[in-house]
Amino acid sequence: MSERQLDANYYAKLLELQQLDFALVELNLYLDTHPNDMQAVTQYNQLAQQRKQCAIHFEHQYGPLMNFGHSFSKYPWQWVESPWPWQV
């Protein structure tokens, strides 16, 4: 396995993704019990879009976040590069 060089921006973008994921999980749980809260639905949709764009930018710069067809890989195959996002 090759060890790729990671800059401070890698960790900042990964942290941003983790923060968005946390907020989305919390809003999801809230909406399970408050499905008619339009403000929460709007916030959830805005964060979901923001997370999608953040993930696209992250993967373009640093490689895939998920395997099994959920993320694309550049050539050569990027999954042999470490650390993987869940290892940092």
Q: State the average pLDDT over residues 12-18.
A: 94
Q: Do residues 44 and 24 make contact, with C-beta atoms less than 8 angstroms apart?
A: yes
Say what the pTM is: 0.75
Residue 80 has pLDDT above 50, yes or no: yes
48 vs 4, 20, 43, 64, CA distance in Å? 29, 8, 8, 18
Assign 74 a pLDDT band (cuts: 50, 70, 90).
low
- Per-residue pLDDT at 1: 36
Closest C-alpha among 14, 3, 9, 2 to residue 55: 14
Q: What is the β-pairing status of strands 2-3 and 81-82?
A: parallel
Quote the mean pLDDT of the chain.
83
- Per-residue pLDDT at 76: 61
Q: Do residues 24 and 47 make contact, with C-beta atoms less than 8 angstroms apart?
A: yes
Residue 83 has pLDDT above 90, yes or no: no
**CA 37 to centroid of chain Cα atoms:** 25
Whole-angstrom Cα distance, residue 57 to residue 64? 10
Assign 77 a pLDDT band (cuts: 50, 70, 90).
low
Q: Say which residue the tokens 């067809």 belong to.
A: 69
Q: State the average pLDDT over residues 57-62.
A: 90
